[in-house]
Structure 1
């Protein structure tokens, strides 16, 4: 085992697509960080779960749990107004914000496949919509979206979850420092990238460190996390959030200097607890 750093911060996002909140410690299992993405916004007309890819205005809202048992979620809107998930007025404010009739919905069982199904208006329309969310400029490459697994073509998330690819997203300070050195005028605020675990890397670890970990396992506290793929970035990283201004140069730098990727995806293979300050080992 090789120590690669320690946990700098832990994040969960109670509502898919909205800003989240930091935690000092968390339980981790096959569903990822406890309390992460248990709610989502559903487009009423399309009958489809939405993300900040398609509804970037959601990033201007912040969701947090109002109680330790994580049964009540508060949403702070751009106006400063705070309402609870399940409140009809919250649905009205979200509908106005994103410009489409919408409702907040809790996770449904995996057996309710219709709840997770993509809206498709023709065979190619949905794919063109997806490609557009990556906000590429002429000549810039896209991830390989033409050969998505069949399940990703049919559903907006893994059945029984609100995760598209993986329940864990990991980012290192080495990567953020590296990208800042390439584009020092940009605001590389960590919340732009919506990580679950931010790792403060050991001195001497530089560059896009976590991309070298793909295929390996991280041991943190009593848990183990399999690093399985890099994270291609879409237009959401440039969008305005509470306290963060729009910055299109962020995505230009990631596409041209980091092969489109920043951070990695992970799957928990041993459930347990993690805390800020816990050492991180590469197995």
Structure 2
């Protein structure tokens, strides 16, 4: 046993803060109800993430009903000023636009019937890549992720076509990695919400360091679900941004780049759907 699930998080709206769960079903598209909404920039006609619109992190999104992904998909948004607004009301678009400083619309995934809805905005042949690199907010001498051989879908689309996921439907993080980085930068708050995992695995002190990086290619059993660990998660400037309960802190990114080869956590895909609960044991099969 590697450890136990200590936290489960679902993000009803892409780029916004999400909701903590005690149990959730894993589907072929990740945690049930994850990223069923997104914000579209009206001028660019492009789905936005917190990479490009960090103000999204100031909004907490929760499903209006506890079951979330079945039946009623409407969401409630807790704004930075404490106001609550439903995805059903017409003024929600204006409130989001005002916060982000860009004309925007909140849209459900169910309304996207054409692959063009997921297209990346390109003013020309290179500006889009310059913009993407800038979101990683590297300082002089710090490495960037390797962009030399991007899959064509990542070149053409701002999210996985047909979804609001950037790279993969599941993101995993361990307490061992957070403890490792916290020890190297104890002045920072290493709250898991900064890193937007779906699942946090408590390694129970049995492992130290960036342990999940050694799981790549392996198969995890969590409750009824099985996942394939697919890739490391390089970190961008979003981890430094303020959220409602967390201040901005650029030291977090400097530490991840310096001490963790710029990666924190891993991505995963679903091999076997099923129910998982906080407290479930986690096993690795190679």
Query: Is the pair's TM-score, using the shorter chain for normalization, greater than 0.5?
Result: yes
1:86-165 → structure 2 map (5 Å cutoff): 86-108=88-110, 112-165=114-167
Among 213, 230, 233, the alignment partner of 1:231 is: 233
Among 34, 50, 53, the alignment partner of 1:52 is: 50
- What TM-score does the superposition give when structure 2 sets the normalisation length? 0.96
Among 161, 185, 190, the alignment partner of 1:183 is: 185
* Distance 1:109-1:148 versus aligned 2 partners, 3 A rule: farther
Instruction: Give me the whole-angstrom Cα distance separating, in 2, the residues matched to 1:86 and 1:236.
Output: 28
CA RMSD of aligned residues (A): 1.1
Is residue 10 from structure 1 mapped to residue 8 from structure 2 by the alignment?
A: yes
Among 18, 27, 35, the alignment partner of 1:20 is: 18
- What TM-score does the superposition give when structure 1 sets the normalisation length? 0.97
Is residue 222–residue 271 contact of structure 1 (8 Å, CA) maintained in 2? yes
**Secondary structure in 2 matching 1:88:** coil
Displacement of 1:190 in angstroms is 0.6
Render the CA deviation track for 1:88-118: whole Å, top value 9, x for unaligned: 2111011011111000001147751110001
Instruction: Give me the whole-angstrom Cα distance separating, in 1, the residues matched to 2:167 and 2:32.
Output: 17
Show structure 2 runs of 5+ residues with no match.
none
Instruction: Give me the whole-angstrom Cα distance separating, in 1, the residues matched to 2:202 and 2:253.
Output: 23
Displacement of 1:256 in angstroms is 0.7
Instruction: Give me the whole-angstrom Cα distance separating, in 2, the residues matched to 1:76 and 1:190.
Output: 19
* Distance 1:108-1:160 versus aligned 2 partners, 3 A rule: farther
Instruction: Give me the whole-angstrom Cα distance separating, in 2, the residues matched to 1:24 and 1:69.
Output: 12
Larger deviation, residues 108-117 vs 18-27? 108-117
Instruction: Give me the whole-angstrom Cα distance separating, in 2, the residues matched to 1:133 and 1:33.
Output: 26
Structure 1 outlier segments of 4+, above 6 Å: none
Show structure 1 runs of 5+ residues with no match.
none
Aligned length: 281
